[in-house]
Amino acid sequence: MEVLRQPVLTQTGNHQHGSQSSELTVVQAVQVVDATVGPYLHFGISDGEINIEGHTPDKKPYNFKRDEWVVGPIQQLEAVPGIDIISPGGYKDYDDFPRHVVNGPLNPEYLPLEYAQIVRLTLPAMRQALGDTLLRGYGLQIGIPGYRQIPNFAFGPYKPLIMPKKYQRPFTAATRQNVTALYSNPEISSFNPGIQFEHPVETLAVLEAYQKGRRLGGAVARFMAGGIASQYTSLHTKARTAIHLCYGRFKGHAAPVAPDPTLPGAFEPVVSLVNYTVQKVTETHVPPAVIGLPILQEGGDRIGSRDIQGIVAQMKGLDVPRETALAFGIATQNTDVEDIVRFGDALQNGLGRPILISSPCGKGSMSAAEGLALLQKEAQAIETLRI
């Protein structure tokens, strides 16, 4: 089968390299990914989301913690004029984030996203690991939190529906400026960068709303889809873009509202969010290159064939153009190669279209050994599915 000829194996750099940032050098981590799943990468090889310490080209010290997703940018907020901490936090889980307040207008240019700078600092190690020719052949995948993510966790505990626009708008503008800077940088743009936006806040908001009723759930899905689509359609026109929905796994735990995948209707919220997002995007723009959907949860129980068929039946509700690749999060530490093959085969046959496989949220909380073991299982499953 050719359905998984070039699958997305993992969705973002942190999710791809996981905790390898503390156990392997950037060069070693990239070499591991290249050797294990290189032939199967679909959207590109990740920039790594590795912690960056060093000096900028103008000799200023630089320390940006990226191995815990939004923690790095939030830590940098302390130096932004007009932002103060009102309660401390230790980042043990989502309830332990520090809370900030804005005392005056936020200038997007001061917000500490700096993705172009971070990628520039990571590129030398990636070029050492792969060489320019192979890196260009893969294309460079850059994971960026969607615009709701950082303000939600930094200025919360706001619900996404009621977060003040004075927080959202500056981060929307800053994200747009950063993506433009990425594509305007000749060194980065030469490696065919693709932007993957991560949207757990929107996904979890829709899940919570559906728990209170389908009518409310549908309304929230439409609202959140409008925000995702607005960010997508405001980007640099040359951006290759992936939209990654997930359950917000942090410190090894998914959010408590993540659904039991074996329950009837468990995936109606995610399917509706995908469909509304695609509908809004395609009113004015081409659809995204990839949409990633969370299916299984890391640490969850293995599921049987009957449950797989029930999930596939729900996925038939997806209304996504064939030019958009669908990446299903079905590869976890608890699934074995046969599980992934059975699930992938059922999805491909049930939907009647090629699919991609991925981790549901990522490998960011795994050790290097655990991440490598999962990469190897994914590669073996793909080889089996290609026979």
Say yes or no to pLDDT of 91 above 90: no
At residue 343, does pLDDT exceed 60? yes
Distances in Å between the alpha carbon of 262 and those of 1, 173, 215, 258? 27, 40, 22, 12
Q: Are 227 and 175 in contact (CB under 8 A)?
A: no
- Residue 280 pLDDT grade (very low, low, confident, very high; cuts 50, 70, 90): very high
> How sure is the predictor about 365, in pLDDT bands with cuts at 50, 70 and 90?
low
Angle among Cα 20, 25, 28 to the nearest 5 degrees reads 85
pLDDT digits (tens, 9 = 90+) for 252-268: 666 666 778 888 899 99
> Highest mean pLDDT: which of 5-9, 155-159, 214-218, 243-247?
214-218
Asked if 151 contacts 171 with a C-beta cutoff of 8 angstroms, the reply is: yes
Q: Which residue has the tokens 């503008």?
A: 173
Examine residue 81 and say whether the peptide bond preceding it is cis (omega within 30 degrees of 0).
no
Asked if pLDDT for residue 273 goes beyond 90, the answer is: yes
User: What mean pLDDT is predicted for residues 189-209?
Assistant: 91
- Whether domain 13-65+103-150+162-385 has CATH 3.20.20: the reply is yes
Residue 312 pLDDT level (bands cut at 50, 70, 90)? very high
Rounded-to-integer distance, Cα 104 and Cα 34, Å = 47
Tokens 């971070």 locate to 118
| pLDDT at residue 363 greater than cutoff 80 | no
For the residues 142-170, what does the mean pLDDT come to? 80
Q: What is the pLDDT of residue 11?
A: 33
Which band of pLDDT confidence, cut at 50, 70 and 90, is reported for residue 278?
A: very high
User: CA-CA distance, 263 to 87, in Å (whole number)?
Assistant: 39
Residue 195 CA to residue 180 CA, distance in Å, equals 11
CA distance 115 to 105: 23
Percent of the chain clearing pLDDT 90 (strictly above): 31
CA–CA distance from 361 to each of 149, 175, 254 (Å)? 15, 22, 9
Of the two residues 63 and 329, the one the predictor is more confident about is 329
Q: Please classify residue 185 by burial: count the beta carbons closer than 10 Å to its beta carbon, then call 0-12 exposed, 13-18 middle and 19+ buried.
A: middle
Q: CA-CA distance, 375 to 32, in Å (whole number)?
A: 9
Vertex 265: Cα angle to 261 and 267 (nearest 5):
55
Contact indicator for 272, 253 with CB cutoff of 8 Å: no
Q: At residue 24, does pLDDT exceed 90? A: no
- Exposed, middle or buried: residue 275 (CB in 10 Å: 0-12, 13-18, 19+)? middle
Residues ≥6 apart with Cβ < 8 Å to 338: none
Rounded to the nearest integer, the mean pLDDT of the chain is 81
The CA dihedral of 363, 344, 221, 228, to the nearest 10 degrees, is 60
Q: Quick one: pLDDT band at residue 12, thresholds 50, 70, 90?
A: very low
Q: Where are the domains of the chain?
A: 13-65+103-150+162-385
Higher pLDDT, 153 or 363: 153
Tens-place pLDDT, residues 216-249 = 999 999 999 999 998 888 876 677 899 999 887 7
CA distance 46 to 30: 8
78 in Cβ contact with 86 (< 8 Å): no
CA distance 216 to 159: 15
Stretch 202-210: mean pLDDT: 92
pLDDT of residue 167: 79
In the block, tokens 């993506």 appear at 179
Q: What is the pLDDT of residue 324?
A: 95
